[in-house]
A and B are shown apart, each in its own frame.
Chain A
Amino acid sequence: MNEITSQTPALQLSDVSKSFGPIDVLQGLNLDIRPGERHAVIGPNGAGKSTLFNLISGMFAPSSGDIRLEGNSIGGLSPHLINRAGLARSFQITNIFHRMTVFENLRIGVMARHQVRYGLFRSAAGMRRVNDETADVLNRVGLEARAQSMAGDLTYSEQRALEIGMTLTTGADVILLDEPTAGMSREETAKAAELIRKVTEGKTLLMVEHDMSVVFSLCDRVSVLVYGRILATDTPERISANREVQEAYLGQEGAK
């Protein structure tokens, strides 16, 4: 443990709280994500998982506490600045550009990475490096056959793959995936988990996931979030053996 604590965490939340009016959604939350690990956040509905992601990615500012990305404080910054600092997220509800082609969906993110954000005096088709890199991401998420299809015309699981692809395009080292396999069949889920393993190689991954088979096969550590607090953080095996966790969360699943 000592060697790990000496390393700067990829993502560090210290005493983070968030309340909406009188409702405390997150209370004094502490969480360290180590560089290069795959970390899952599980917890019952309403535990505050989405709020946690929204705080880290800049959708909302935390009410109190500090969020650090590779040692730099990012709490309360706007989403585009957090993205530029090296953190990208996907969304639980597919959040793509429906009336643009799959290729263009990915290229918007690649453009941001190559600092051609507001280029007005060049041709989009002529940006070779941007287009090559877009094609590369396209291949990695397995959508090359759909490159010229409208994103809105894709099947659900294809849209989820595009969602993950878009998260990769800006070149962030820390990736947040919000329920990437939600609504998928068992077969699709297995495929998606494999895709996530492949594309997050060498990156730090934090994901909200309900499917325990995905959590067990993919993740190094798991944090259990219940009523706005982290109940436990440990390896998947030890988490599933934890009595407290079973009562709070896994027990409900087992009772079904």
Chain B
Amino acid sequence: MTSIQKILLALLLVLLIAVPPFLGLGWQNALINVLISSLFALAFNLLNGQAGLLSFGHAAYFGVGAFAALHLMIAVEDGLFFPTPLLPLAGGLAGLVVGVVAGYFSTMRSGVYFALVTLAIAELFHSLAPHLEGTFGGEAGVSSMRMPWMGFGFGTIIEVYYLTLGWVVLCGLALWAYTRTPFGRLTLALRDNEQRVKFLGYNAHYAKVIVFAVSAMMTGVAGALLAISNETANYSLFSGSVSAQVVLQTFVGGSTVFFGPVIGATVFTLFSFLISDLTRSWLFYQGLIFVLVMLYAPTGIGGVIDHHIRNRRQLDLAKIGGPYLVALGGGILIAAGTVFLTESAEVLFGQDYAMARDGAAGGFPAYDLFGLSWSPLNPVTWLVPLVLLCGGVFILIRARRVIDRLWARKDEATTDDMTVGAGGKE
């Protein structure tokens, strides 16, 4: 890590400590969810980004961690002495144990087969949990309460926030330190070439089980933090959507960069917090973002940022900044057009509008959107998004051409460097 990165991280930490007391409860809660999903994504990406094992069933270890913490909380309610701030240990331990067993079987294979086994294990939990009243509380789930400890009541959201922050920072640092250990380096070697690892004297299966277990353990901690925050959990934590969410967040954030998953988790969690109240189509927008990132920036947001940092010396930021702003403008126009069409479709195909049509004897009455009234039969209504989309695409294509040219110039500069380097060697 360079000193600039260290300073930025420290600054971020100071902000995360200092700002939340001045925020509303809704924001404090949203930040707790950001932190939890960040840890979840980091733990997931240990397996996905570093070991090259894409798991489609990480909800299993997230859920196991949550239920383990809740059962410990119930025991504490019943009089067991256990410090409330250490509750996530239960989640970590449960994740580790289940991770060793599940990891042993799933890492017998790699690639698609590995992904399918992890998926099957998570589905096993998802379908068994509603029937196991004792362990998972049936369909209603398990609930408990945070008990006070040493003068901390853990009754307010801000206390839970700091508890979560502490654990996420601790686990995040541990995961980062992991990459610097001999085993962390071996993990990368497993991703690159498992066969060669075997022929260099390592038991590759054993090594993969360890990576899997560490990932499941950290995921379990994240699940426990969610349970502590919500004071309840049910079998829906094991659902495929939880497993899918962490995959989406990690890939949008960038799986090739260590902190990429944090970016993805933050973007998606805040997006759902801010947008889900405004429109019912927010899941559609989330999916759209995922598809666009995969198509046009497959290394994710983190990967794009990393690419720019790596090439900062060869890039003329003053020159490229202008076209980037223009491209952003084009993107905003396209987004506006897309939102207009999506929201119009939601209104026009909705039940309320069907009733309004009945009221208007089968005609197409005007509808309200963005504080204005639009008639579906008026061409202007459809010209607006059309102009937005076409204009946006036009601007974006033009800007992209300029940007491509500037990047190509940078590449020429590096090729020159390389020829000089090679010449010097001879």
Distance of A83 Cα from B204 Cα, bound (Å): 13
For the side of the interface on B, what is the size category?
Answer: 20 to 34
The answer to whether B181 touches A123 (Cβ under 8 A) is yes
Contact with A along B176-208 (1 / 0, CB 8 A): 001011111110110111011111111110110
Q: List, in ascending order, chain B residues with CB within 8 A of A112's CB.
A: 200-202
The answer to whether A118 touches B193 (Cβ under 8 A) is no
The answer to whether A108 touches B181 (Cβ under 8 A) is no
The answer to whether A169 touches B200 (Cβ under 8 A) is yes
- Ordered by A's residue number, 28 sampled pairs between the chains whose C-beta atoms are within 8 Å are A57-B199, A78-B203, A79-B198, A80-B200, A80-B203, A80-B204, A83-B201, A89-B199, A95-B199, A96-B193, A98-B192, A100-B188, A104-B189, A107-B185, A108-B197, A109-B200, A112-B200, A113-B201, A117-B182, A117-B201, A117-B207, A119-B182, A120-B181, A122-B181, A122-B182, A166-B196, A166-B200, A170-B201
The answer to whether A124 touches B197 (Cβ under 8 A) is no
Q: List, in ascending order, chain B residues with CB within 8 A of A78's CB.
A: 198, 203
Closest CB in chain B relative to A24 CB, distance in Å: 25
Q: Which of chain A's residues 69-96 have a Cβ closer than 8 Å to chain B? A: 78-80, 83-84, 88-89, 91, 95-96
- Residue B348, interface by CB 8 Å: no
Q: List, in ascending order, chain A residues with CB within 8 A of B184's CB.
A: 120, 124
Closest to B210 in A: A118
The answer to whether B199 touches A108 (Cβ under 8 A) is no
- Residue A97, interface by CB 8 Å: yes
Closest CB in chain A relative to B175 CB, distance in Å: 12
From the candidates A84, A89, A104, name the one contacting B185 in the complex (CB within 8 A): A104
Distance of A130 Cα from B200 Cα, bound (Å): 15
Q: List, in ascending order, chain A residues with CB within 8 A of B201's CB.
A: 80, 83-84, 109, 112-113, 117, 170
Closest CB in chain A relative to B151 CB, distance in Å: 34
- Residue A111, interface by CB 8 Å: yes
Closest to A98 in B: B192
From the candidates B193, B202, B425, name the one contacting A117 in the complex (CB within 8 A): B202
- Residue A116, interface by CB 8 Å: yes
The answer to whether A120 touches B183 (Cβ under 8 A) is yes
How many residues on A have C-beta within 8 angstroms of the other chain's C-beta atoms?
Answer: 38
The answer to whether A97 touches B192 (Cβ under 8 A) is yes
- Residue A212, interface by CB 8 Å: no
Q: List, in ascending order, chain B residues with CB within 8 A of A116's CB.
A: 182
The answer to whether A108 touches B186 (Cβ under 8 A) is yes
Looking at A88, A97, A170, the one whose CB has the most chain B CB atoms below 10 A away is A97
Distance of A78 Cα from B199 Cα, bound (Å): 9
Q: List, in ascending order, chain A residues with CB within 8 A of B210's CB.
A: 118, 120
Contact with A along B201-239 (1 / 0, CB 8 A): 111101100100010000000000000000000000000
Q: List, in ascending order, chain B residues with CB within 8 A of A130's CB.
A: 182
The 4 closest A-B pairs by CB, nearest first: A83-B201, A112-B201, A97-B192, A119-B182
Closest CB in chain A relative to B372 CB, distance in Å: 53
Closest to B214 in A: A120
Closest to B203 in A: A80
The answer to whether A123 touches B202 (Cβ under 8 A) is no
Q: List, in ascending order, chain A residues with CB within 8 A of B192's CB.
A: 96-100
- Residue A121, interface by CB 8 Å: yes
Distance of A100 Cα from B197 Cα, bound (Å): 13
Closest CB in chain A relative to B15 CB, distance in Å: 29
Distance of A123 Cα from B193 Cα, bound (Å): 22
Closest CB in chain A relative to B216 CB, distance in Å: 15
Distance of A83 Cα from B178 Cα, bound (Å): 26
Distance of A123 Cα from B204 Cα, bound (Å): 21
Distance of A92 Cα from B207 Cα, bound (Å): 26
Contact with B along A104-139 (1 / 0, CB 8 A): 100111011100111111111101001000000000
Q: List, in ascending order, chain A residues with CB within 8 A of B203's CB.
A: 78, 80
Closest CB in chain B relative to A107 CB, distance in Å: 7
The answer to whether B200 touches A83 (Cβ under 8 A) is yes
Closest to A122 in B: B181
- Residue A241, interface by CB 8 Å: no
